[in-house]
Structure 1
Amino acid sequence: MDHSRRRLLRHALHLVPVAALAPSASRAQTEATPGARPGRTVLTVQAAGRPAVDFDMAALERLPQRSFRTSTPWYPKPVSFTGPLLRDVLAAAGVRGRTLRAVALNDYKVDLPADDAARFDVIVARLLDGRPMPVRERGPLFIVYPFNTSAELQSEKYYSRSAWQLRRIEVD
């Protein structure tokens, strides 16, 4: 990613007040999706020796969004996921590294190579079939690979790297 795009992504988080970009979700959707309230941290990105960067849902929405429809082992039919590319989230946080450790709400941890974010259009999904994902549906955030784009991705190796109920990314 070139320097100007990285700088744009990093500064996009600060261009508009969070309250002005709050999603227009119904009260029921907001209550069903912990962390969806404006200003509440839903994702923390931490790299050794650097201050942690917290994202609320509005900050993630301000990043360029990507959508794809894919089959997964977790849903009976193909579903659509929408969210920023993982590489854009890392660039916005201003971090680089070799390994990413995804940490879920229940403290489940999985490591994935940072190179995956460059090689594949991995997203930090915030929408499932156009709707916010409540915790009971693997939300509010879910690292998802575009499984249907290659046979290589349709394997336990990549399925296991797809962390749902994501709350933190630690970068080494």
Structure 2
Amino acid sequence: MTETTALRMASRGLLSAALAAAFCGAVVFASGTAPRAADLAKPVGPVVLTVAGDIGAANRPAFDEGTDSFLNYHEKTFQSAAEFDRAMLESLGMQRVEIAYEGWAQPSTFEGPWLKDVLAAAGAAGKDVTVVALDGFGAEIPAADIQALDWVVGLKRDGRYLGLGQRGPIWLVYRRPDGAVLTAEDEQRWPWAAFYIEVE
């Protein structure tokens, strides 16, 4: 572990068993796939990502304090939202991006849909977003950066789904289209243990 990673983990704090339990309690089950905003159906598996805010497509009703306990814990409310399970995210197209960051022992391959495609499915293309992690950490990503960098909504790392102990359920990373070397500043911008995207 690099000093940068250690400091980052310390600043964000470790997920407690109570948070993990609350997250599991907030999981919702439903049905369908989501290739386009107009066809956004309900998930059939556990929800791993919720997109809310200024969106044009939704597949669930308003925030409910009684059932959305983990969202309530983070003070996230909405009138409607787009929920995705893994299958829905995978149906948007699984991209493979190799990340060669000097702070890691070796490069890693991440798999998941482009962030821009996830936002398009929720009817939120071309907008700024804030990605929220399970521990409350928020990473702001301007619309210009979403277009300029190859952001991937990482579901897998080196062929394995990301679990809660491996920076899952989602780890957003990017590669630079110009092939520039990734630095510690880049790595600090990659929100991990992400579960919620707020569209501005």
| Same fold by TM-score greater than 0.5 | yes
Q: Is the 8 A contact 1:102 1:168 kept in 2?
A: yes
Range 142-151 or range 118-127, more displaced: 142-151
8 Å CA contact 2:40, 2:122 repeated in 1? no
Instruction: Tell me which residue corresponds to 2:153.
Output: 124
Match of 2:132 in 1: 103
CA distance in 2, matches of 1:74, 1:18: 36
Distance 1:60 1:93, change over 3 A: same
Pick one of 9, 24, 39 that aligns with 2:36: 9
**Alpha-carbon offset, residue 18 of structure 1:** 5.2
How far is the alpha carbon of 1:157 from its aligned partner? 3.9
Contact 1:72 1:147 in 2 (8 A): no
CA 1:72 to 1:93, structure 2 compared with 1: closer, same or farther past 3 Å? Answer: same
Q: Give the match's secondary structure for 1:68.
A: strand
Q: Tell me how far 1:13 sits from its aligned partner.
A: 4.5
Alpha-carbon deviation of 1:84? 0.1
Q: Could you tell me which residue of structure 2 aligns to residue 169 of structure 1? A: 197
Other-structure match for 1:56: 85
CA RMSD of aligned residues (A): 2.5
Percent identity between the two aligned chains: 33
Any gaps of 5 or more consecutive residues in structure 2?
A: 1-33, 57-79
Find the counterpart in structure 1 of residue 144 from structure 2: 115
Contact 2:130 2:197 in 1 (8 A): yes
Structure 2 residue identity aligned to 1:9: R
Indicate how the Cα distance of structure 1 residues 47 and 79 shifts in structure 2: closer, same or farther if over 3 A, else same: same
Contact 1:121–1:145 (CA<8 Å) still a contact in 2? yes
* Gapped regions of structure 1 (runs ≥ 5): 1-6, 20-37
CA shift for structure 1 position 58: 1.2
Cα 1:54/1:116, change in 2 over 3 Å: same
In the alignment, residue 114 of structure 1 is paired with which amino acid?
A
CA deviations on 1:68-125 (whole Å, 9 max, x unpaired) are 2112366321010000000000000111454211100111111111222211221000
> Contact 2:51–2:83 at 8 Å: present in 1 too?
yes
Q: TM-score, normalised by structure 1?
A: 0.73
Q: How far apart are 1:59 and its partner, in Å?
A: 0.7
SS of 1:139's equivalent in the other structure is coil
Say which SS state the counterpart of residue 161 (structure 1) adopts. coil
